[in-house]
């Protein structure tokens, strides 16, 4: 693609493409510095224990060691956490999971660091552990946080609309099932890392791989008792995040190290094993469902009991569960719902945000329930979904009346008209020996934005430099999803400048403005909405200044072109470089804020959610999976994939498609392979040899259909598309398994071993032919 | 820092091996480097066998093929002799690791690592491979099945290296079957695998059978019982089910993070049923 003035709705070359493929782009991990020191953490190594003593003398005496710090050395509250501040930077009294941080070591090189970490002597009194939902809720269970008033329950919440229990009794058809999903790892390429140092004026500077640089300032300030304005966070592009870098990873540890490094730069870079051990995970969950319908397939009542295992610390556990509960009924009209949730502390790794934030879990259950119901009713699963699909104006399962764009029905219709669906019976009949073929659907949705209670805001800033070029200050991280490209597209489009000439400043709390986290499908929506008026104002100023310079008295007679303003009637032009030189900084910089709209009529339920409930906007998708199952091994081969996605209008078709493709691939991993296996709190899958991600052969050709339904509040009608696609694969594959093999799987991932066991129990004859 | 010797010929190798303490030989390092990083193994010094020409390549010898221990998997896969005469081995090699692993890893490394999950081992067992062991003063041969004595254990003496493996394919086998179950479709450690060589007459009778399973016992598993059950029979479902039941009795798998012993036992038998696809038309 050649440099061009970007158009909305047309693919634009990624703003970070050339710099990434040529290796010029600097990730946080690429930052070093003169006289660099290395920092590392001594981890607990037990799932639950009381710290009797931490002896640092031997480690500190090792030549090359700069400092060895323990919980007592942490100034401030020593507490981190986005909503609940329950996670120590360095543990003082007890440890609550294997990867908890007990001591921080700073050394001159990595070998010395590793040696010194091993020399920190920790004496620990082991405590009985809490290894799952049942343990956590058992009477008399050991407490993960003794001081927490809720025992091991971080959050217990209820969404109630109508009278679900009574309504269920009246339903002629009821299906009931319990599902389990495991923790999933984000498995980003660039593991958690950063570099920090203290400047002469005392300011602590962090260059860190983070999804939320502005929130990081608050975290560090709170945990270490540092003045908020004495912290600067620089957030370069990320080598992946998926939610796992939304929240403190290395930040507080690094800032603490910087306070003990005498102005030298300190680098911390978790290796893959430490990423597995100490990094955040998607919540494992148990989901109990009872769904009732009328004889014609109209959904009538739903009762769910959802249990989310948040591990040792809250992180965003309550909010993750809240979003799961809000989506528990799927994108359907259900007049009576009772959705109960328990988010519990355990001695498992800390669970937090991950693409599909609580929703990927319930989507499995909700969409299997729809197929179970279709089976019981003898109805076509697509027809059942279409009959109940939410439309604008309907009330969703959380009791919220949908006033924004709602395109799930259109997505389902696109699937229904596609040859991969209409030709499915023929295709299924062509399976070879020992193979069974199945076709499965999933209808999924995912909310956009933080939800009520937490303002979803961005401040956009655009500058015409003194040299006459555009400089765009992005305050919200790009972890690879392409929001920065969208910002360039919007600015270039409004200001008629070629994409390549626009300089993009990545988040830096000293240069860019607070714009929230790169999360919740809100990045381009919120920042884009802030950017449009800023760019329009700058355009007026540029053209206005040209009018003065060219002595033209109406702005309509002037044309803003790449690098210049032209007066077509006379043919006269003024280059932007000349024009900009006449402007003051105040004139050249435009700033605008946008605050995402929220639900006005909040339902009278879900009162336990302090923030993050309910949501106004949703992206929608319908997925179709065609799979082939090997009856001898239980192996699933995903043969074809169709995803019809509605996320408002599309700014950049290529970026949209990349999000769909990536989400489906990650979802296929979640559906068929990926599982953080735990035994008494210890991770049995500590690296990529044991934790298996899908490879290129495990992901089929993915056909992405775009269903555009304009969202009037969105920038050019768009909504966020990053998450919704991750919710479809697990249920679609499970439904395809039920279709092809007649087995109803309730535990994810759908491994070959589990499939073979289910086939064996069902007593499948085995061979696809006779001997 | 570790001392690494890079001998360019056998004489330099023998000299390196005479040092005290003796450096640990390796070839490819795709397994060793992982264990060095994790600290699972920590030898004082290493000696690399990759640059010794006498240990590399494929040649015809004594009616069979001699394969140098230092020959990489990628080179074997490209070798016309291997492809033509050892299709069973070629099939197994094509499932081994990933292209980068196949470019580094060697057949000698795969044999000496002696993992029950080593992908080249079931075909080499089925083919009755024979190893050639050399030291400065001696050279000896031994069937591969005797050479590997346990998981990670071989009959290699401290002064010896594996020089090569000799395979004499029996051209009368007309079914060459290999299948590996991994968690994903490529770059996956074997959960269970089966290498099978059959001679099936034009009338459909099984005249000879060699079977070997990977990852379902401390070493590669062979089962005379299962082989016997096929002889003189046809590739029917009943015959294969019978052999499968014997195979399930012959294997002794373990539970690990990839799969349970029960699953491995089950599929060890199931994999035989795939042989139905090789019935003469």
B137 part of contact set with chain A, CB < 8 Å: no
Under DSSP, the state recorded for A693 is: P
Tally the C-alpha atoms within 13 A of residue A305's C-alpha that lie toward its C-beta. Answer: 6
Query: Is A697 within 8 Å of B257 when comparing Cβ atoms?
Result: no
Distance CA A690, CA A566 (A): 62
- In chain B, where the domains are located: 3-48, 53-167, 175-278
At residue B256, the 3 state secondary structure works out as: coil
Annotate A51-64 with b (16+ C-beta within 10 A) or e (fewer). beebebeebbebee
Distance CA B178, CA B123 (A): 8
Q: Residue A145 — φ and ψ, nearest 5°? A: -125, 100
CATH class of B175-278: alpha beta
**pLDDT-based confidence at residue A548 (cuts at 50, 70, 90):** very high
More confident residue, B38 or A108: A108
Q: Which domains does chain A have, with CATH numbers?
A: 17-26+457-595 (3.30.365.10), 31-127+192-269 (3.90.1170.50), 281-451+602-762 (3.30.365.10)
**pLDDT-based confidence at residue A422 (cuts at 50, 70, 90):** very high
Rounded mean pLDDT, B116-123:
98
Which chain B residue shows the shortest CA-CA distance from A755? B263
Examine the predicted complex and report whether its ipTM is higher than 0.90: yes
H helical segments located in A12-68: 17-21, 57-61
Q: Report pLDDT for B159.
A: 92
Contact B213, B194 (CB under 8 A): yes
Query: Is B276 within 8 Å of A771 when comparing Cβ atoms?
Result: yes
| Mean pLDDT across chain A | 97
The residues, ordered by sequence, that sit 6+ positions from A525 with a Cβ below 8 Å of its Cβ are: A448, A449, A596, A617, A714, A715, A718, A719, A720
Interface of A with B in 259-288 (CB under 8 A): none
Query: Is A697 within 8 Å of B260 when comparing Cβ atoms?
Result: no
A110 part of contact set with chain B, CB < 8 Å: no
Both tokens assigned to B109: 């490394």
Query: Is A677 within 8 Å of B181 when comparing Cβ atoms?
Result: no
pLDDT for residue A278 is more than 70: yes
End-to-end CA distance of chain B, in Å?
Answer: 61
Distance CA A501, CA A737 (A): 51
Q: Report in angstroms the alpha-carbon separations of A602 from A281, A358, A438, A455.
A: 31, 21, 41, 15
Query: Is A433 within 8 Å of B276 when comparing Cβ atoms?
Result: yes
Rounded mean pLDDT, B123-134:
98
Q: What topology is assigned to B53-167 in CATH? A: 3.30.465
Query: Is B273 within 8 Å of A698 when comparing Cβ atoms?
Result: no
Distance CA B179, CA B196 (A): 9
Q: Report pLDDT for B7.
A: 98
Q: Report pLDDT for A347.
A: 98
- The crossing angle, in degrees rounded to 10, of helices A359-377 and A317-326 is 30
Q: Residue A311 — φ and ψ, nearest 5°? A: 75, -155
Q: Report pLDDT for A768.
A: 38
Chain B hits for A684, CB-CB cut-off 8 Å, are 257
Q: Report pLDDT for B281.
A: 66
Chain A hits for B237, CB-CB cut-off 8 Å, are 767, 770-771
Query: Is A689 within 8 Å of B189 when comparing Cβ atoms?
Result: yes
Distance CA B266, CA B246 (A): 11
A771 part of contact set with chain B, CB < 8 Å: yes
pLDDT digit string (tens) for B17-34?
999 999 999 999 999 999
Interface of A with B in 656-695 (CB under 8 A): 673, 677, 684-685, 689-690, 692-695
Contact A737, A547 (CB under 8 A): no
pLDDT digit string (tens) for A64-105?
999 999 999 999 999 999 999 999 999 999 999 999 999 999
| Tally: H helices and E strands in chain A | 21, 32
pLDDT for residue B95 is more than 50: yes
The residues, ordered by sequence, that sit 6+ positions from B134 with a Cβ below 8 Å of its Cβ are: B10, B160, B161, B163
Select the residue from B185, B274, B275 to test the A interface by mutation, using most A Cβ atoms within 10 A.
B185
Other C-beta atoms lying within 10 Å of the C-beta of residue A142: 15
Q: Report pLDDT for A771.
A: 33
Share of chain A above pLDDT 70, in %: 99
The residue among A481, A460, A619 whose CA lies nearest residue A529 is: A460
Distance CA B273, CA B240 (A): 6
pLDDT for residue B35 is more than 90: yes
Which chain A residue shows the shortest CA-CA distance from B270? A632
Rounded mean pLDDT, A463-468:
98
Chain A hits for B271, CB-CB cut-off 8 Å, are 632-633
pLDDT digit string (tens) for A99-143?
999 999 999 999 999 999 999 999 999 999 999 999 999 999 999
Q: Report pLDDT for A510.
A: 98
Which chain A residue shows the shortest CA-CA distance from B181? A633
Query: Is B273 within 8 Å of A632 when comparing Cβ atoms?
Result: yes
* Segment (H or E) for A38: strand A37-43
Q: Report pLDDT for A395.
A: 98
Rounded mean pLDDT, A540-567:
96
pLDDT for residue A338 is more than 50: yes
Distance (Å) from the C-alpha of residue B186 to the closest C-alpha of chain A? 7
Rounded mean pLDDT, A495-517:
97
pLDDT for residue A47 is more than 90: yes
pLDDT digit string (tens) for A663-673?
999 999 999 99
User: In this structure, what is the dihedral angle of CA atoms A386, A388, A389, A393, given to the nearest 10 degrees?
Assistant: 140
User: In this structure, what is the dihedral angle of CA atoms A236, A237, A242, A248, given to the nearest 10 degrees?
Assistant: 0
B266 part of contact set with chain A, CB < 8 Å: yes
pLDDT for residue A766 is more than 70: no
Rounded mean pLDDT, B172-179:
97
B236 part of contact set with chain A, CB < 8 Å: yes
Q: Report pLDDT for A489.
A: 98
Rounded mean pLDDT, A627-649:
98
B244 part of contact set with chain A, CB < 8 Å: no
Query: Is B271 within 8 Å of A771 when comparing Cβ atoms?
Result: no
Chain A hits for B278, CB-CB cut-off 8 Å, are none
Tally the C-alpha atoms within 13 A of residue A121's C-alpha that lie toward its C-beta. Answer: 7
pLDDT for residue A748 is more than 70: yes
**pLDDT-based confidence at residue A763 (cuts at 50, 70, 90):** confident
Distance CA A688, CA B134 (A): 37
Nearest to B236 among A433, A693, A771 (CB): A771
Nearest to A632 among B184, B257, B271 (CB): B271
Rounded mean pLDDT, A192-217:
98
Q: Residue B125 — φ and ψ, nearest 5°? A: -65, -45
Q: Report pLDDT for B62.
A: 85
Q: Residue B275 — φ and ψ, nearest 5°? A: -65, -20
Share of chain B above pLDDT 70, in %: 100
B187 part of contact set with chain A, CB < 8 Å: yes
Which chain A residue shows the shortest CA-CA distance from B244? A632
Chain A hits for B261, CB-CB cut-off 8 Å, are none
Contact A244, A353 (CB under 8 A): yes
Nearest to A771 among B185, B191, B238 (CB): B238
Q: Report in angstroms the alpha-carbon separations of A607 from A333, A448, A450, A603.
A: 22, 20, 16, 9
The residues, ordered by sequence, that sit 6+ positions from B31 with a Cβ below 8 Å of its Cβ are: B105, B109, B113, B115
Contact A168, A303 (CB under 8 A): yes
pLDDT for residue A2 is more than 90: no
Query: Is A698 within 8 Å of B185 when comparing Cβ atoms?
Result: yes
């Amino acid at each position: 693609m050649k440099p061009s003035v970007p158009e909305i709705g047309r693919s634009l070359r990624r703003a970070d493409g050339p710099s990434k493929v040529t290796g010029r782009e600097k990730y946080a991990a690429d930052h070093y510095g003169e006289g660099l020191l290395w920092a590392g953490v001594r981890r607990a190594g037990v799932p639950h224990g009381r710290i009797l003593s931490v002896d640092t003398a031997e480690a500190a005496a090792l030549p090359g060691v700069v400092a060895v710090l323990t919980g007592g050395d942490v100034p401030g509250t020593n507490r981190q956490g986005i909503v609940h501040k329950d996670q120590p930077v360095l543990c003082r009294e007890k440890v609550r999971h294997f990867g908890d941080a007990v001591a921080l070591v700073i050394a001159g090189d990595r070998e010395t660091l590793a040696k010194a970490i091993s020399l920190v002597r920790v004496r620990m009194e082991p405590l009985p552990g809490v290894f799952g939902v049942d343990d956590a809720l058992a009477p008399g269970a050991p407490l993960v946080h003794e001081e927490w008033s809720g025992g091991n329950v971080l959050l217990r919440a209820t969404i109630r609309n109508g009278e679900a229990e009574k309504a269920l009794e009246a339903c002629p058809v009821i299906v009931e099932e319990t599902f389990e999903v495991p923790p999933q790892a984000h498995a980003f390429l660039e593991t958690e890392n950063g570099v920090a140092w203290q400047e002469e004026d005392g300011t602590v500077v962090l260059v860190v791989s983070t999804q939320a640089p502005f929130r990081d300032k608050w975290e560090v300030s709170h945990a270490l008792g540092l003045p908020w304005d004495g912290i600067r966070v620089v957030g370069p592009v990320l080598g992946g995040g998926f939610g796992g870098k939304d929240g403190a990873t290395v930040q507080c540890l690094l800032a603490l190290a910087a306070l003990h490094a005498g102005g030298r730069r300190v680098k911390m870079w978790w290796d893959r094993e430490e990423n597995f051990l100490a990094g955040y995970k998607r919540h494992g969950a148990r989901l109990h469902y009872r769904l009732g319908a009328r004889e014609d397939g109209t959904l009538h009542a739903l009762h769910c009991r959802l249990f989310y295992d948040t591990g040792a610390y809250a992180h965003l556990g309550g909010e993750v569960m809240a979003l799961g509960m809000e989506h528990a009924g799927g994108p359907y009209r259900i007049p009576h719902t009772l959705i109960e949730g328990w988010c519990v502390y355990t001695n498992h790794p800390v669970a937090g945000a991950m693409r599909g934030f609580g929703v990927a879990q319930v989507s499995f259950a909700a969409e299997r329930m729809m197929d179970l119901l279709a089976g019981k009713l003898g109805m076509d699963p697509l027809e059942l979904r279409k009959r109940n699909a939410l439309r604008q104006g309907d009330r969703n399962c959380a009791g919220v009346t949908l006033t924004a764009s709602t395109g799930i029905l259109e997505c389902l219709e696109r699937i229904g008209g596609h040859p991969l669906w209409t030709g499915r019976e023929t295709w299924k009949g062509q399976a070879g020996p020992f193979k069974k073929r199945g076709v499965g659907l999933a209808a999924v949705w995912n909310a956009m934005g933080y939800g009520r209670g937490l303002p979803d805001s961005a401040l956009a800033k655009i500058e015409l430099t003194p040299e006459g070029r555009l400089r765009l200050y992005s305050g919200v991280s790009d972890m690879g999803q392409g929001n920065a490209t969208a910002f360039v597209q919007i600015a270039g489009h409004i200001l008629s400048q070629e994409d390549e000439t626009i300089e993009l400043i990545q988040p830096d709390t000293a240069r860019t403005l607070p714009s929230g986290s790169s999360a919740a499908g809100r990045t381009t929506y919120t920042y884009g909405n802030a950017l449009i008026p800023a760019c329009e104002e700058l355009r007026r100023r540029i053209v206005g200044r040209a009018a003065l310079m060219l002595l033209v008295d109406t702005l309509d007679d002037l044309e803003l072109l790449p690098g210049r303003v032209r007066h077509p009637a006379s043919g006269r032009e003024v280059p932007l470089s000349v024009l900009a030189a006449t402007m003051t900084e105040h004139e050249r910089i435009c700033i605008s804020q946008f605050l995402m709209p929220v639900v006005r009529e909040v339902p009278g339920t879900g009162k336990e959610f302090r923030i993050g409930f309910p949501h106004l906007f949703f992206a929608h998708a319908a997925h179709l999976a065609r799979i082939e199952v090997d009856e001898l091994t239980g192996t699933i081969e995903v043969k074809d994939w169709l995803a019809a996605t509605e996320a408002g209008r599309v700014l950049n078709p290529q970026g949209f498609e990349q999000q769909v493709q990536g989400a489906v691939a990650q979802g296929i991993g979640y559906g068929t392979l990926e599982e953080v296996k735990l035994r008494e709190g210890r991770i049995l899958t500590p690296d990529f040899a044991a934790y298996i991600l899908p490879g290129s052969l495990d992901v089929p050709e993915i056909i992405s259909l775009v269903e555009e339904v304009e969202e009037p509040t969105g920038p050019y009608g768009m909504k966020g598309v990053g998450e919704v696609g991750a919710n479809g694969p697990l249920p679609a594959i499970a439904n395809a398994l039920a279709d092809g093999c007649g087995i109803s799987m309730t535990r994810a991932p759908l491994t070959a071993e589990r499939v073979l066991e289910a086939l064996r129990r069902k007593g499948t004859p085995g061979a696809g032919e006779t001997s | 820092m570790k001392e690494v010797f890079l001998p360019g010929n056998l004489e330099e190798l023998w000299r390196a091996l005479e040092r005290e303490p003796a450096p640990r030989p390796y070839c490819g390092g795709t397994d060793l480097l992982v264990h060095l990083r994790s600290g699972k193994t920590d030898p004082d010094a290493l000696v690399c066998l990759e640059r010794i020409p006498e240990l590399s390549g494929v040649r015809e010898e004594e009616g069979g093929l001699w394969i140098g221990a230092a020959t990489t998997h990628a080179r074997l896969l490209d070798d016309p002799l291997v492809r033509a005469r050892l299709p069973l081995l070629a099939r197994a090699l094509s499932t081994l690791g990933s292209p980068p692993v196949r470019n580094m890893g060697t057949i000698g490394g795969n044999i000496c690592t002696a993992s029950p999950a080593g992908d080249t081992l079931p075909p080499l067992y089925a083919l009755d491979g024979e190893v050639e062991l050399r030291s400065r003063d001696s050279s000896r041969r031994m069937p591969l099945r005797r050479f590997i004595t346990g998981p990670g254990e071989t009959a290699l003496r401290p002064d010896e290296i594996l020089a090569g493996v000799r395979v004499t394919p029996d051209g009368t086998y007309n079914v060459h079957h290999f299948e590996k179950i991994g968690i994903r479709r490529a770059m996956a450690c074997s959960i269970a695998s089966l290498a099978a060589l059959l001679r099936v007459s034009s009338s459909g009778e099984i005249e000879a059978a060699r079977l070997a399973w990977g990852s379902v016992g401390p070493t590669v598993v062979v089962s005379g019982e299962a082989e016997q059950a096929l002889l003189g029979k046809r590739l029917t479902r009943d015959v294969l089910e019978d052999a499968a039941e014997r195979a399930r009795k012959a294997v002794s798998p373990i539970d690990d993070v990839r799969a349970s012993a029960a699953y491995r036992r089950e599929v060890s038998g199931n994999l035989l049923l795939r042989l139905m696809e090789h019935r003469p038309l």
